[in-house]
Amino acid sequence: MVATGTRGAATPAPDSIARRGTPLLEATGITKSFLHVRALDDVDFAVWPGEVVALVGDNGAGKSTLMKVLCGAYQADSGTVRVEGEEVHLRSPRDAIARGIAVVYQDLALVDHRDVAANVFLGREPTRAGMVDKARMVREARAVLDDLKITIPSVQTLVGLLSGGQRQAVAIARAVHQGGRLVFMDEPTAALGVQEQAKVLRLIADLKARGTTVVVVSHNLQHVFHVADRIVVMRGGRKAGERDKGGTTAEEIVGMIVGADRLMPAPAGV
């Protein structure tokens, strides 16, 4: 690969996307190293309310690391994070959840031997007279699933018995129920069959329609183009650029991912 030194700031017109108002989440100058490897180098990233943003890049480009910094799982070495204009220090996923930032992890993060209701409420079980209020959990979990048009016959079914798509839906329902105004999804379609992928994509569109902001970390450009309003490309720990979906093509995004965007035309049929 030829080093081009492309940076978001150096790229002309299509990158200068003006969004209105205060970003829901805004990160500036995020740097993160693991031993001697610089995983993130001075990365700026912002999401505005109601958007679906895709975070794409090759393996090791830094997209997952960026997500983990923004949801409190990793601490950045430097840089600032603002939520609705207010600077915050996200020391744990708990902190992020309290700020309305929730994550749907790639490995689904579900507890297989517990039912759907217990998983939707995982870690935040309501209590009544010292006991977990099971009736309320069942009622509210059902309401959240219905609200998101997720079809699961019984919320008292063990999660381990559900299909991959249903499991993904339960994880997303939990993120929404946690009060997530901004939901990060790490490879939400990666482990699913084609029909299940379509359901998850529809669910993301439904979330957007409800006003939930979504950041999708994904390898799958077809899915990215299907759901995202804006695409942010990471390469080598830096932001290689960003594009509005309407103003770009899959070829251009692939070029940015591999770092050949201005050296050669994209080969046909990518």
- Please give the residue ranges that form the binding site for another protein (CB under 8 A): 73, 92-94, 97, 103, 105, 107-115, 118, 122-125, 127, 130-132, 152-154, 156-158, 160-163, 166, 174
Q: How far is the CB of 219 from another protein (least distance, A)?
A: 21
Q: How far is the CB of 106 from another protein (least distance, A)?
A: 11
**Which residue type, as a one-letter code, is found at position 108?**
L
Q: Which is nearer to another protein, 82 or 114 (CB)?
A: 114
Q: How far is the CB of 197 from another protein (least distance, A)?
A: 15
Q: Which is nearer to another protein, 22 or 156 (CB)?
A: 156
Q: Which is nearer to another protein, 92 or 249 (CB)?
A: 92
Q: How far is the CB of 230 from another protein (least distance, A)?
A: 26
Tokens of 90: 């996200």
| CA dist., res. 116 & res. 166, Å (int) | 10
Q: Which is nearer to another protein, 57 or 93 (CB)?
A: 93
Q: Which is nearer to another protein, 72 or 255 (CB)?
A: 72
What number of other Cβ atoms are within 10 A of residue 108's Cβ? 17
Displacement of CA 52 from its chain's centroid (Å): 9
Q: How far is the CB of 79 from another protein (least distance, A)?
A: 23
Q: Are 259 and 1 in contact (CB under 8 A)?
A: yes
Q: How far is the CB of 182 from another protein (least distance, A)?
A: 16
Q: Are 82 and 23 in contact (CB under 8 A)?
A: yes
Q: What are phi and psi of 210, to 5 degrees?
A: -80, -5
* Burial 226-258, CB ≥16 within 10 A → b, else e: bbbbbbbbbbbbbbbbbbebeebeebbbbbbbb
Q: What are phi and psi of 161, to 5 degrees?
A: -95, 0
Q: Which is nearer to another protein, 17 or 109 (CB)?
A: 109
